[in-house]
Amino acid sequence: MMYRALLTVLLLLLPISAEPYEVATHEELVRAATRRSSVDQMLKDELGLQDGIRNAIRGKVLETWLVEGGANEDDFPRFLNHFHNPLATTWSQAGLGGSVGQSAILWAQNPSQSAPSWSWQDARQSYLDALTKASSADRDKSLAATFEALGRQMHLVQDAASPAHARNDPHVFFNYETAIDGLRIREASTFERWRDGTPDAAGVPDAGWRSLDSNPLAPIAIARLVDTDRYTGANPSLTTGALIGLAEYTNANFFSEDRIFTENDVNPQTQFPFPRRSSVLEQDVDVHVGGATVKRRYLIKNADGATGYRIATVGFLREYHRRSGLDLARFRETPALDETVYRDYAERLVPRAVTYSTALIDYFFRGRMAAFGNDVAFTIQNGSEEAMSGTFTLYYDDANDTRRPVPGASWTQSLGPNALVTDLRVTTPTSPAPKEPGKYMLVFRGALGSETEAVVGKQVAIESVLVPRLLRRKDGTPIRGSSLQAIDRVTGQTLSSGTTDQDGKARLTWRPGRTVLLIPAANVFPMYWAGGALFASQAEGARVIQPADLDAQGQVTITIPVIDAQWPERTEECSGQPQFAHSPQGFFREGTLLPDGTIDLVTVTYAVNLITFIRDDDGRETILCGSDSGQCKTPAAGFVAEDVNRIGQVVGHLVRDLSSGHLRQITNTDGVPLGPPVCFNNYAEADVVGVTVVEP
């Protein structure tokens, strides 16, 4: 017991290093994968972040949060969970030493890692929070956390391209990863060629990994990026295809420092069937050492999977063995991995580390939604390649950047790829009012393909539509051809204008809670709707239209009294016609056939010197006509919108200077007078008469 304890302590104290790609290497790989991914475009197109991945959140650009996640995942003791042996009998035994650490696959999907936890599920929750949290600061914090978590997830995938991590090898000191980081510094261009190069088709994971059967131990499909469970240890040729886990490819085709030709190991933790002795051939290769070119004998991989690269040098004592005629069966040769071998490894593994981690982040943001229409008939379309089944919820930001769910705007739907749901009604929020009217964040939470708790966000613009219907109050008939304007009462801006159709309807865009309606010509004066059958002449007196004013079709019905002016007019006794008329050159003639065959002919002429309408409330004067006028305006020209509310009331007076002549005479049928006029009266006088508002 004590012996075991001592050994454990020693192991813990020893500077044993199973270095993953070093921190700075991970930073470079994450950066490269991010550039290769569609994240930047997604952020711009879907979330409306104009700087995309270069958008600064909490003092760092989003890319930096990813990169830092990639670096921080190696913090002690998290790295103990960065191994995955694809040939372990079960993933629960696939970690470092079988169970010293958790398999990287399980670790990635373990929401109880530590505090904080950076699992895929945590990334999903952070993303949901980034889209829905009330405070702007919390949303920023969550978005940063999302990217940090994704950087860590990318790190785990990248580690699967490190042989030690795929072959259960806690190697000591200088190793593949150390060498790669050294080359990153010593030969930046070489490293960047590996990092940014175009991998062959097999170096990019086949999208089929997304739909492979899930493993209950780690059911989210990202596990398949690391291990598809297709490589069994007997079929290495399969690992050169694109539908293969990165750990499987690495395990089957590369050595780590302490796992070289271990096909015959008795320990199942270290026994890896490939590469094996029969997978290689020996070949002398020129290498440069200390400025000189020398031949070094390498083992070239030429079978059982990937081929055509140096997989190891022969053992350093090989030549000694040969010259001394030693029995190789007794003096076991130990091949080694030198810098040249590491370069060949990196040329194949670094691009895959990038492409596989690119696939991971693209998978996270793969959900797409389209949204169009308006608040009366709103449409959501599943723009993803997978079915979406869950809840679609709309959010908006108020003036304080507080994000709020739009009341009633949450729908549970199942939509296949490209399917859509139409005619959704959105009650545009008004209390508090949106910071940017019409701008919303649509958030999906639910199953996206096989992932049960996916999150998708989409910034959408939803036009608010108002359908005013104008009816004549007196008889309920539509008022056709009347123009209408929706005015923003805060800015005075005309939001839209339209003309009523045969049904008296017009279609206007508006901003709920800050829009008033101007009806310029239903009467002869412009008027704002003030609610009910009331109207105002100024926007300040108008009703700010609320969503509650609209019916289910987005319609608001306005009954309008169409008013006119009425004033008293005396009947002249001779002609039986009005004594005066508002007609500058008025002429009236009417004959009546009498029983004796003569004609009773009445002739009236009217003239106007001046007619003025003076309002009683403010004394405003409107000249209706003068002696030179062609015709007179109606006194209603001096009306204001508030007069609509005063039907039956006297609202002003006409001040008139008029004249008229009234003649009645009996004539024959040719119009020739048959005697003196029956009567003949001339009038020239000024009068003042009251004007009453009427609804004819």
Partner 1 sequence: MSRWLRQITVCMGLLVGCASAWAQMPEGWDRLLGPGRGRPYRGQILDSETKAPLAGAVVVALWRRERVYPFQVNTERYAVRETVTDSDGRFLMEVKDIEEGAPRRTRKPEFLVFLPGYGAFPHRYTSPKGFLAELFEGSGTTVEVPRLENREDRLSNLSSFGPHSFSEKPHKELPRLMRAIDEERVALGLRAYPPAEKE
For binding to partner 1 (CB under 8 A), which residues are involved?
2-3, 6-7, 10-19, 22-24, 27, 31, 34-35, 51, 53-56, 58-61, 63-64, 67-68, 71, 74-77, 79-80, 96, 170, 172-175, 178-179, 182, 185-189, 192, 257, 290, 338-339
Distance of CA 144 to the CA centre of its chain: 18
Smallest gap from residue 299 Cβ to partner 1 (A): 18
Smallest gap from residue 28 Cβ to partner 1 (A): 9
Cα Rg, the chain, nearest whole Å = 44
Smallest gap from residue 56 Cβ to partner 1 (A): 5
With respect to partner 1, which residue has the nearer C-beta, 98 or 438?
98
Smallest gap from residue 313 Cβ to partner 1 (A): 12
Cα gap 691→573, rounded to integer Å: 23
With respect to partner 1, which residue has the nearer C-beta, 262 or 523?
262
Write out the two tokens for 521: 């010509």
With tokens 């030198």, the residue in question is 338
Instruction: State the DSSP code for 222.
Output: T
Smallest gap from residue 144 Cβ to partner 1 (A): 10
With tokens 């793969």, the residue in question is 366
Q: Phi/psi at 211 (nearest 5 deg)?
A: -110, 10
With respect to partner 1, which residue has the nearer C-beta, 42 or 409?
42
Cα dihedral 134, 138, 144, 149, rounded to 10, equals -90
Cα gap 209→228, rounded to integer Å: 7
157 with 225: CB under 8 angstroms?
Answer: yes
Query: Is the peptide bond prior to 77 cis by the omega test (within 30 degrees of 0)?
Result: yes
With tokens 């003649």, the residue in question is 663
With respect to partner 1, which residue has the nearer C-beta, 15 or 597?
15
Smallest gap from residue 187 Cβ to partner 1 (A): 7
With respect to partner 1, which residue has the nearer C-beta, 65 or 272?
65
Task: Count the Cβ atoms, other than its own, within 10 Å of residue 115.
Answer: 5
| Closest to 298 measured CA to CA, from 282, 278, 322 | 282
Sign of the four-CA dihedral 118, 120, 121, 127: positive
Smallest gap from residue 94 Cβ to partner 1 (A): 16
Instruction: State the DSSP code for 110.
Output: -
Smallest gap from residue 165 Cβ to partner 1 (A): 11
With respect to partner 1, which residue has the nearer C-beta, 65 or 356?
65
Write out the two tokens for 459: 């910034």
Strands 280-289 and 292-301: antiparallel
Smallest gap from residue 290 Cβ to partner 1 (A): 8
With respect to partner 1, which residue has the nearer C-beta, 95 or 437?
95
With respect to partner 1, which residue has the nearer C-beta, 10 or 552?
10
Count of residues for the chain?
A: 696
With respect to partner 1, which residue has the nearer C-beta, 34 or 485?
34
**CB neighbours of 532 closer than 8 A, spacing ≥ 6?**
none
Smallest gap from residue 5 Cβ to partner 1 (A): 10
Cα gap 455→448, rounded to integer Å: 8
| Distance spanning both ends of the chain, measured CA to CA | 110
Cα gap 412→414, rounded to integer Å: 7
With respect to partner 1, which residue has the nearer C-beta, 56 or 593?
56
Cα gap 656→612, rounded to integer Å: 6
Smallest gap from residue 58 Cβ to partner 1 (A): 6
| Closest to 109 measured CA to CA, from 99, 123, 90, 126 | 123
With respect to partner 1, which residue has the nearer C-beta, 22 or 375?
22
